[in-house]
Amino acid sequence: MKIKQTKTAIDSFHSLTEDQLSREENETIKHLIEPKTISMLCGLTGIEKSSMSRVLNTLYHKKEKIDISKIDKCPITNKKVQWYKVKTPQLKLFV
């Protein structure tokens, strides 16, 4: 089954490649210079928790841009959660 699509819709779909980050991903990475939890990021960015989970999973698993820095108590929810931080490039000294 073929669906008729406009040229602009097709161009828009193909404009975001694997290496590029979405607006939500860029906004999230800006706040992850220091470790933060999902709840903290939701408060800073205004993105809902379910959407933030999707963004963090994409950045962690698919694009490998962030790391889990620690598992500790969240100051907002008082529960043990993962704290995320931007991956820092490490120099290979002993190759």
Structural domain including 40 reads 21-86
The whole-angstrom separation of Cα 78 and Cα 73 is 6
Question: What is the reported pLDDT for 12?
Answer: 62
What does the pLDDT average to over 13-24? 70
Q: How far is CA 57 from the centre of its chain?
A: 7
Is 13 inside any structural domain? no
Is 94 inside any structural domain? no
Number of domains in the chain: 1
Is 4 inside any structural domain? no
pLDDT band of residue 21 (cuts 50, 70, 90) is confident
Say which CATH number the domain at 76 has: 1.10.10.10
Is 95 inside any structural domain? no
pLDDT band of residue 13 (cuts 50, 70, 90) is low
Query: What value does the mean pLDDT of the chain take?
Result: 86
Is 6 inside any structural domain? no
Is 2 inside any structural domain? no
Is 36 inside any structural domain? yes
Is 72 inside any structural domain? yes
For the whole model, what pTM was predicted? 0.74
In this predicted structure, the answer to whether residue 18 has a pLDDT above a threshold of 60 is no
In this predicted structure, the answer to whether residue 60 has a pLDDT above a threshold of 60 is yes
Closest CA relative to residue 86, chosen from 18, 44, 40, 34:
34
